[in-house]
Structure 1
Amino acid sequence: MRILASLLLLAVTSCATTQAPSATTGWQEVVTPEDRIRLRDWRTAFTRALDQANAANHAAEIANEGALLEPDAAVGGPIPNGDYRCRVIKLGAKSQGMLEYVAYPAFRCRIDQGKMQRFTKLTGSQRHVGKIYPGDQLREVFLGTLVLGDETRAYQYGRDRDRDVAGWVERIGDNRWRMVLPYPNYESLLDVIELVPEQ
């Protein structure tokens, strides 16, 4: 009887540690060790990526983007739920032969609220899906995964390190936000997603 009780207690404890994060879970309790480092080193990634893109003769395009591509442009303020036009800019080349600067046209994105705020990039060949967590006074934290091509379902965050994505969500002006994704696993040193509410 005592052995059975011990086994039941062990089973309950195991279940408790594998439950999905609740609405009150902080990002620090969920983030993978690799993504914790990415988030910590975001500014180094940003400046390295800008240096590469500038050296590859993209200074005019970078200057044209204003606050979007300025590392310290965050002014604070959470991002509201709604539909957004989201434009992706990739900065810096992850490996030789890759482009140092690529700006894509606007895609469609949505931020909605279930138990937690959730971000979904609805169109494009690389679609970010994940949760937005409270961060600090200037920014929130995005932890998610990448859906590729014609895939219809996202991996659970933390299941496949090659698909995991981490970044900071920042307001950079009136009705303008960005998601800063340092050291993504594909192509670039930094991805910046501009988020502007659909009218």
Structure 2
Amino acid sequence: MRRTIALALVAALFGCGNSAAPRLIPVAAGSDWRRVATPSDRERLRAWRQTWQRALAAARRAAPEAVAAQGALFDYDRALDQPIPPLGSYNCRVYKLGARQPGQLDYVDYPAFACRVAADEGGTVRLEKLTGSQRPTGVIFADNGLRAVFLGVMILGDEARPYPYGREPARDLAGWVERIGPARWRVALPQPAFESLLDVVELVPAR
């Protein structure tokens, strides 16, 4: 029965494949992300530190100056209070650390794209990357005073809508959300399906 309820919740959370656009997730504010996350995503989140250390070591070998220039962004022990970004528009940059396969790059950074943090009337907070060829979209769940959890999916290319979370494992994403500066946040996504060992999404308010 619990499994059936959990599956039904996941379907409701991330909409169906026929929806015209990503929808806000109608889940009560304060819901436990552990009851929503897939087993593989829970495992990715549990192993985040080992993944981050491997990815960062590879990135430092490939691009030591570029990694050092980002300061707190890649410091996995850096976490301040208020981990959930305020609602609004953001500039977001994606950094890919550590190659998943031989021949891929161990460090890649992209220019800033547009992101948005929004909420529905029930208080559910959603993060969406609005531009670019890879666009994470999903929900931010409170976890503790120093970090939150992102669960979502990856939208690719010219796709207009996301897969439902949990239906296509290669599109599922799970990460830790932390504040690392006065107006600077990051979403660290361990073991994404494409290209890297770790994706780090930096968020700063759009001016």
Quick check: TM above 0.5? yes
Partners of 2:46 and 2:117 in 1: how far apart? 24
Partners of 1:178 and 1:162 in 2: how far apart? 22
In the TM superposition, residue 16 of structure 1 has moved relative to its aligned partner by: 8.7
1:67 aligns with 2:72: yes
Partners of 1:82 and 1:180 in 2: how far apart? 20
1:124 aligns with 2:132: yes
Structure possessing the higher radius of gyration over alpha carbons: 1
- Give per-residue Cα distances to partners, 1:152-182, cap 9 Å, x unaligned: 0011111110100000110001010000000
1:190 aligns with 2:190: no
Partners of 2:195 and 2:126 in 1: how far apart? 25
Q: 1:172 aligns with which of 151, 170, 180?
A: 180
Q: 1:110 aligns with which of 96, 116, 141?
A: 116
In the TM superposition, residue 138 of structure 1 has moved relative to its aligned partner by: 0.7
CA distance change for structure 1 residues 61 and 15 in 2, over 3 Å: closer, same or farther? closer
In the TM superposition, residue 98 of structure 1 has moved relative to its aligned partner by: 0.5
The amino acid that maps onto 2:138 is: G
The amino acid that maps onto 2:8 is: T
> How many pairs were matched up?
187
Partners of 2:155 and 2:5 in 1: how far apart? 28
The residue number in structure 1 matching 2:33 is: 27
In the TM superposition, residue 79 of structure 1 has moved relative to its aligned partner by: 1.3
In the TM superposition, residue 55 of structure 1 has moved relative to its aligned partner by: 2.0
Q: 1:139 aligns with which of 147, 163, 177?
A: 147
Partners of 2:58 and 2:6 in 1: how far apart? 46
In the TM superposition, residue 15 of structure 1 has moved relative to its aligned partner by: 7.4
SS in 2 for 1:194: strand
The residue number in structure 1 matching 2:20 is: none
CA distance change for structure 1 residues 81 and 49 in 2, over 3 Å: closer, same or farther? same
Partners of 1:160 and 1:120 in 2: how far apart? 19
Give TM-score, length-normalised by structure 2: 0.86
- Report the more deviating stretch, 154-163 or 17-26: 17-26
Partners of 2:182 and 2:61 in 1: how far apart? 31
Partners of 1:76 and 1:17 in 2: how far apart? 32
1:43 aligns with 2:49: yes
Give TM-score, length-normalised by structure 1: 0.89
Partners of 1:150 and 1:68 in 2: how far apart? 29
1:18 aligns with 2:26: no
Q: 2:98 aligns with which of 67, 92, 102?
A: 92
Percent of aligned pairs sharing the same letter: 52
- Give per-residue Cα distances to partners, 1:54-105, cap 9 Å, x unaligned: 222x111111000001111111213111000000000000000110000100
Q: CA RMSD in A?
A: 1.7
CA distance change for structure 1 residues 158 and 61 in 2, over 3 Å: closer, same or farther? same
- Structure 2 unpaired stretches of 5+: 14-26
Partners of 1:105 and 1:191 in 2: how far apart? 14
SS in 2 for 1:162: helix
